[in-house]
Amino acid sequence: MVVSERSEQRPREITHWSDPHSETTSIVEGSGVYVYDDDGDEYLDFCSQLYCSNLGHDNDEVAAAIAEQVGTIPYVSSAKRSPVREELAGRLADISPGRLSDTFFSISGSEANEMAVHLAREYTNSSKVLTRWRSYHGGTYGAGSLTGDPSTRAALEQHAQTTGTARFLPPIPRAFGTDDPEELARLAADHLEFVIRNEGPDSIAAILTEPVAGTSGAFVGPADYFQRVRDICDEYDILLISDEVIAGFGRCGEWFGIETEDVVPDMITFAKGVTGAYVPLAGVIAPPEIGDMVAEEGMDLGQTFGGHPVGCAAGNAAIDAYADGVIENVQANEPVLRDGLADLEAEYDVVHDAHGRGFQWGVEFADPETGEPFHDPRTDDGDNPVDDLLGTCRENGVMFGAGRPTIQVVLSPPLIADADELRAGIDALADGIE
C-alpha cells in the first residue's frame, strides 16, 4: 500500500455502503417530511433517512432545547451528575413498561446492544445470546456479530470474535411454510425452544430481538408468538432484550414496539428516535436488579459521550413532542398505510407480501410464477429490480428504505406525516411498480 501520494479521486466520504443510490443524492436541507438536495430538488422522505427522523426535519422545540443546552453547558462528564440526564432517565422510566426503571446511556444503537449483552452476561453468568436470522443489531464488531443480516456479518466474520451468538428463524411464513398465524406462532416458538435445548439453556444469557423488524423488512410476529417467547425465556431463565432502536418512540404505534405484544422484556435498547435523530443518543433501560448489580459490582460501563447533555436535552424535548400528538398521529393514520399497501398487494402480482405496524412497513417483491425473490440476497449479484424501483421512486421525488436483504422496500415515514403525505408515498410506490 502506497500512502505517500494522494489520489486524484480523493477525499471521499464512505460511511455508508448499502444504499445503491446514495452517491447520487446529496441532502442539504430539510423541512417537515421533505428533504432537499444540492440541486434544490425536493424529496418526500419516506424512510426518515435511516428510520430515525421521526419528528421531521425542522422541529423548533428540539432545536431550541439543543441550543439552550449548548448555551448553558454543552458537556458534563458522564461520571458526574447532570440534571438534564437525570430528567431524561426519569422520563424513560415513566414511559417504559413493567419495572424497567434504570437507564444506562450510550451513543449509538450498536453500543446500546453491546451494553445490554454485557449486562445480561454479567447478570446470568452465561455467555450465549440468541438472535434471529434476518435481524440487524448494529455494525460494530460486537453488535455486528449479533446481527443476522448476511451482508453485515459476512465482512465481520472473517476477523471478529463472533462466538457466543446462535441464531433462530424469524416468525415469517417463508421460514416455516405456512401463512396461518396460529400455526406460524406455534412452529416458530417450538423452533426457538428446540434451538435453546440444543444450545444448552444454561449457556444462554439472553434472546435479543426486534419486536417489529426494522431494516430487515418490518415483519411482525403472529399473535401470541412473543408471549410464547416470554414464557420460554421464563422457563429457561433467559433474559429477553427488546431492540427498540427503530421500533421505539412511537414508530410502531406505542412508546415501545413490544408493548403491542403485551409482553414486558427484561431490557430495552434504544437509539435513533429518542432525540428524533437531531443528535446521537442511545441506551439500555433495565429493571432495578440490573441497576443494583452494576452499582454493587462497580461495573464500569461509562462512555465519554454516553448520555451527552445535548442529546439528553433533545431527548426531553422529543419525548414531549411524542406525547403531544405524534404517537396519536401514528395510531390515527396507520390505516392509510395498511389499506394503501393492501391495495398494492391486490393490484400488482409482483408484490409478494406487505407487512408492518404503525409507520414501519415492508413490501416484499417476488416473481409471481415461482414465489421466489427476483434477486438472490445470498450472492447479491445480478440485476435487482428492487434497486431499480428504489431509483425510480427517488427520481420521482420519494425516498424509500432499501431493506436487507434487498428483496423488499421499507416504508418508514416521519411520525408527523399526515394522511395526504402518506397517500402520496403509496402512490409514488405504485407509480414505480408500474
Residue from 204, 206, 208, 245 in contact with ligand PLP (CB under 6 A) = 245
Contact between residue 386 and residue 408 where contact means Cβ atoms under 8 Å apart? yes
**For ligand PLP, the closer CB: 136 or 305:** 136
Tell me 56's DSSP state: -
152 binds ligand PLP (CB under 6 A): no
Contact between residue 366 and residue 372 where contact means Cβ atoms under 8 Å apart? yes
165 binds ligand PLP (CB under 6 A): no
333 binds ligand PLP (CB under 6 A): no
Residue from 100, 246, 264, 424 in contact with ligand PLP (CB under 6 A) = 246
Distance from C-alpha of 396 to C-alpha of 105, rounded to nearest angstrom: 40
SS3 state at 194: helix
SS3 state at 286: strand
Tell me 257's DSSP state: G
100 binds ligand PLP (CB under 6 A): no
Residue from 119, 240, 271, 290 in contact with ligand PLP (CB under 6 A) = 271
Nearest to 95 by CA among 285, 290, 273: 285
**For ligand PLP, the closer CB: 246 or 386:** 246
212 binds ligand PLP (CB under 6 A): no
136 binds ligand PLP (CB under 6 A): yes
| C-alpha to C-alpha distances, 214 to 137, 340, 351, nearest whole angstrom | 10, 20, 19
Residue from 210, 353, 364, 421 in contact with ligand PLP (CB under 6 A) = 210
- State the DSSP H helix or E strand holding residue 314, giving kind and residue range, or none if neither: helix 309-321
**For ligand PLP, the closer CB: 244 or 364:** 244
Nearest to 274 by CA among 238, 315, 306, 313: 315
Q: Could you tell me which stretch among 135-143, 368-376, 390-398, 419-427 binds ligand PLP (CB under 6 A)?
A: 135-143
By CB under 6 A, the residues from 358 to 417 that bind ligand PLP are none
Q: Could you tell me which stretch among 209-217, 231-239, 337-345, 405-413 binds ligand PLP (CB under 6 A)?
A: 209-217
CB atoms within 10 A of CB 56: 23
Location of C-alpha cell 426518515: 48
Residue from 215, 242, 406, 412 in contact with ligand PLP (CB under 6 A) = 215
Location of C-alpha cell 408493548: 259
Q: Could you tell me which stretch among 55-63, 161-169, 171-179, 238-246 binds ligand PLP (CB under 6 A)?
A: 238-246
- Distance spanning both ends of the chain, measured CA to CA: 48
Nearest to 121 by CA among 235, 238, 287, 201: 238
Nearest to 307 by CA among 170, 61, 147, 105: 105
Distance from C-alpha of 224 to C-alpha of 285, rounded to nearest angstrom: 24
Residue 279 burial (C-beta neighbours within 10 Å; 0-12, 13-18, 19+): middle
Residue from 44, 45, 123, 138 in contact with ligand PLP (CB under 6 A) = 138
Q: Could you tell me which stretch among 59-67, 177-185, 210-218, 329-337 binds ligand PLP (CB under 6 A)?
A: 210-218
Q: Could you tell me which stretch among 80-88, 106-114, 258-266, 296-304 binds ligand PLP (CB under 6 A)?
A: 106-114
Task: Write down the H helix ranges in 76-180.
Answer: 83-95, 109-124, 141-146, 150-157, 173-176
Cell numbers representing residue 218 in the block: 418490518
Residue 165 identity (one-letter amino acid): T
Residue from 53, 82, 106, 113 in contact with ligand PLP (CB under 6 A) = 113
Distance from C-alpha of 120 to C-alpha of 131, rounded to nearest angstrom: 14
Residue from 69, 108, 242, 260 in contact with ligand PLP (CB under 6 A) = 108
**For ligand PLP, the closer CB: 69 or 113:** 113
149 binds ligand PLP (CB under 6 A): no
**For ligand PLP, the closer CB: 108 or 406:** 108
316 binds ligand PLP (CB under 6 A): no
Residue from 56, 144, 170, 214 in contact with ligand PLP (CB under 6 A) = 214
Contact between residue 221 and residue 188 where contact means Cβ atoms under 8 Å apart? yes
Residue from 56, 109, 217, 356 in contact with ligand PLP (CB under 6 A) = 109
Residue from 19, 45, 243, 421 in contact with ligand PLP (CB under 6 A) = 243
254 binds ligand PLP (CB under 6 A): no
Interface ranges with ligand PLP (CB under 6 A): 50, 108-110, 113, 136-138, 210, 214-215, 243, 245-246, 271
